[in-house]
Amino acid sequence: MNAFKNCRILLGVTGGIAAYKSPEIVRIIVKNGGQVKVILTAAGEKFITRTTLETVSGNRVGLDLFPVDGNYDPVHINYARWCDAMLIAPATANIIAKAARGIADDLMSSVLLAVEKPIFIAPAMNSSMYRHPAVIENLEILRSRGVQIMEPEIGPLASRMEGNDIGRMPEPAQIVEWMGFHLEEPHPDLEGYRVLITAGPTREAIDPIRYITNRSSGKMGIALAAEAAHRGAEVVLVHGRVDANIPKNVTAVPVTTAEEMLNVVKKEYPHCRIAVMAAAVADFKPMAQNIAKVKKSERLTLELVQNPDILKWMGENRKRQFLVGFALEDDENMQEARRKLKEKNANLIVLNTIEAIDSEDNRIILLSSQSEEKFPMVSKRAAARSIFNRITTEIGRGSN
């Protein structure tokens, strides 16, 4: 991750259970060539020790705005001037409120007011707190000032409530990768391009309650949208129900059924230069939807009909668009992927296997009419970067 080479990162650790992940954040940044200094709040010290953080960072941990050793140098200003970027992970509702409202009553909140470098925040808290209007408003204030916010994940929380809910801090590797992508100088090789991307599953209703769908999370499509926007493109994302947050700099068009997705694609496709069909469209739908809920005691026989083939329609109507399709197979079925490449009249097929479903990672193979390129298992954002690297290379060669 070249973004961290010789980069000085100031990590703020606050009082949440996710503080136990902070040493791993430090370790990954240092491994990638960065330097890390840590500021620990009084509440944060209840969850992780300064000794641990000093050991992994190789630097003294900042605790107090007025050090007990009598050194009255402007500690908060020194930290703010030293760093190239600041990351708060975990970020509690308390530090988020202080940052948004300009409160400076301890070392970390004072540094946040003084720092003039990129700021990154990874909120972590109980789901009820995260959904509170005050927290929502404070996060919006920070976003409006250019602070990068990494949305928390859905997962088990420390409150021990049954089931999963939003508020869990992402894993350290995800946080560092997210931060690295923002710190890297963007390559504006897609400026002036309009990119159409589809993502997530479609749903086909059986009755008002039940439906046919699949396990797609939409994470790959969202990663593609984020990468295209990062490279300067105007991005339209047509998506079903997704399990990841959609970037703010993307035009999102939510749909439910395959027919709805096709209708939006037909509207947007003529105006785009690049189209990436990453959605997992249901192949079949019920011939007729039951108006009322089918009773459990009733025997149900479903007659299914084929849904429209959106990628095929796009291939048949392709003019100057660079068209990318996805092929999901049980294994690396190159023959099936090549058949799809030809049949759908696509420029590129991304072959991946079912292990990628609902995962943060993906192992892809890129196939064109003339070549194939295999990649190791990497994060979906890294896979998205590889896909767009290939797309821009092909367009540069004159492919259409």
Closest CA to 64 of 53, 75, 51: 75
pLDDT tens profile 18-53:
999 999 999 999 999 999 999 999 999 999 999 999
Most confident of 235-239, 243-247, 352-356: 235-239
Q: Minimum mean pLDDT among 62-76, 168-182, 201-215: which range?
A: 62-76
What domains lie within the chain, and their CATH numbers?
A: 2-183 (3.40.50.1950), 194-396 (3.40.50.10300)
SS3 for the chain, per residue?
A: CHHHCCCEEEEEECCCHHHHHHHHHHHHHHHCCCEEEEEECCCHHHCCCHHHHHHHHCCCCECCCCCCCCCCCCHHHHHHHHCCEEEEEEECHHHHHHHHHCCCCCHHHHHHHHCCCCEEEEECCCHHHHCCHHHHHHHHHHHHCCCEECCCEEECCCCCCCCCEEEECCCHHHHHHHHHHHHCCCCCCCCCCEEEEEECECCEECCCCCEECCCCCCHHHHHHHHHHHHCCCEEEEEECCCCCCCCCCCEEEECCCHHHHHHHHHHHHHHCCEEEECCECCCEEECCCCCCCCCCCCCCCCCEEECCCHHHHHHHCCCCCEEEEEEEECCCCHHHHHHHHHHCCCCEEEEEEHHHCCCCEECEEEECCCCEEECCCEEHHHHHHHHHHHHHHHHHCCCC
Q: Where in the sequence numbering do the catalytic residues fall? A: 214
- Given a contact cutoff of 8 angstroms between Cβ atoms, the answer to whether 166 and 127 are in contact is yes
Q: How confident is the model at residue 187 (pLDDT cuts 50, 70, 90)?
A: confident
Give this prediction's pTM: 0.71
pLDDT on residue 110: 97
Looking at residues 336-359, what average pLDDT do you find?
89
